[in-house]
Amino acid sequence: GNSVTQMEGPVTLSEEAFLTINCTYTATGYPSLFWYVQYPGEGLQLLLKATKADDKGSNKGFEATYRKETTSFHLEKGSVQVSDSAVYFCALSEFGNEKLTFGTGTRLTIIP
């Protein structure tokens, strides 16, 4: 079956540091890949997505590239802010089926 493996947290960084959160997946066929973010006290929000190999999703300074050869979709940001503190979830959906399979989440804390 499908699965998503995320870098274990929690992750603590100083403001303006570079961020990478690793995500690898196992899936049949050609899945779509997503990063969702959950801010404290709020629901899950779509951060970015990529639907085919070599696509790059980007939003709010975050980027992730769909790497079919390494089955990865790592999340990066060049300079994090305190407001980026949240839990980040990597997820996939199979082609033709919108059902999401999530990773366990990575809690990110940015300190000023």
Nearest to 46 by CA among 31, 56, 57, 30: 57
Q: Which of 2, 22, 24, 51 binds other proteins (CB under 8 A)?
A: 51
- What is the closest distance, in whole angstroms, from the C-beta atom of residue 58 to other proteins in the complex? 15
110 binds other proteins (CB under 8 A): no
Query: Could you tell me which stretch among 20-28, 37-45, 66-74, 77-85 binds other proteins (CB under 8 A)?
Result: 37-45
42 binds other proteins (CB under 8 A): yes
Q: Which of 32, 74, 75, 84 binds other proteins (CB under 8 A)?
A: 32
DSSP summary character for residue 27:
-
Q: How far is CA 3 from CA 8, 31, 59, 61, 92, in A?
A: 15, 11, 24, 27, 8
Q: Is 82 helix (H, G, I), strand (E, B) or coil?
A: helix
Token digits of residue 60: 């709010």
37 binds other proteins (CB under 8 A): no
44 binds other proteins (CB under 8 A): yes
